[in-house]
């Protein structure tokens, strides 16, 4: 069965510090992989996606993610976090439909 | 990118009434659309897959008779919450894509509040 695990419910980082949000998945084959961000009361914004090819994917707002097949992981990273990055982050996987992880809430300290 | 629009963005209704939410793909045709539900501070849960011209496929635990889905055209799917109750209050989000596989494009979401 398909599943997506985001082990960290809540992460707090200082502004300017680096960030890594974890995502692991279980799927029959290599699925399409996505990271979305959601601000309170808002819809979803796509940060980046992986379909195939280069396993290091660059996205918007300075985010990147690395697909590691051996670990079934697709972790999201940003070298220097800005206060405006505070939001809920969702990892999603799928081919036809899309399943979401539980989400990681990011708090940014001044 | 492709645009998916939902209407209304917010709706408040009385308990026992029915509410219809529309999802439109504005610049592409979508044979399949997806409906998600999101409770406060929780993730998006797939409710059903809406198929143009045929019955929707519901996820386990989703009541077909309560959440009626109609996909009458290649650009429009509707979700009707029938006999709504306060526990149906939630954020409903639809999504669609031009073909099979690939990126899903999401609507802005519809916040339903049942009094």
Find the residue in B nearest to A102 (Cα). B43
> What phi, psi does A70 have (nearest 5°)?
-65, -25
Contact A99 B106 (CB under 8 A): no
In tens digits, chain A (110 residues) has pLDDT values of 778 999 999 999 999 999 999 999 998 777 899 999 999 888 899 999 999 999 999 999 999 999 999 999 999 999 999 999 999 999 999 888 889 999 999 999 99
Q: What is the pLDDT at residue A40?
A: 85
The pLDDT tens digits for B8-64 are 999 999 999 999 999 999 999 998 999 999 988 889 999 999 988 889 999 999 999
Nearest by CB to B103, from A46, A96, A99: name it.
A46
DSSP per-residue string spanning chain B = ---EEEE-SEEEE-TT--EEEEEEESSS--SEEEEEEE-TTS-EEEEEEEETTS--EEPTT--TTTEEEEEEETTEEEEEE-S--GGG-EEEEEEE-SSSSS--EE---EEEEE-
């Amino acid at each position: 069965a398909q599943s997506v695990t985001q082990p960290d419910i809540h992460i707090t980082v200082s502004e300017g510090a680096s960030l890594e949000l974890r995502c692991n998945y279980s799927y029959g084959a290599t699925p399409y992989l996505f990271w979305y961000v959601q601000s309170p009361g808002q819809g979803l914004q796509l940060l980046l996606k992986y379909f195939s090819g280069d396993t290091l994917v660059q996205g918007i707002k300075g985010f990147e993610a690395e697909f590691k097949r051996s670990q079934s992981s697709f972790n999201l990273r940003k070298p220097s976090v800005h206060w405006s990055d505070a939001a809920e982050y969702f990892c999603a996987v799928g081919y036809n439909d899309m399943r979401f992880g539980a989400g990681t809430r990011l708090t940014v300290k001044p | 990118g492709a645009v998916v629009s939902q209407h209304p963005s917010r709706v408040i209704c009385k308990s026992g009434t029915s509410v219809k939410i529309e999802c439109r793909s504005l610049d592409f045709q979508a044979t399949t659309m997806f409906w998600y539900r999101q409770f406060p501070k929780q993730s998006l849960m797939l409710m059903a897959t809406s198929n143009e011209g045929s019955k929707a496929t519901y996820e386990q635990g989703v009541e077909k008779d309560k959440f009626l889905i109609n996909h009458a055209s290649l650009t429009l799917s509707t979700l009707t919450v029938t006999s709504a109750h306060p526990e149906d209050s939630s954020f409903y989000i639809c999504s669609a894509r031009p073909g099979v596989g690939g990126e899903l494009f999401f609507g802005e979401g519809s916040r339903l509040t049942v009094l």
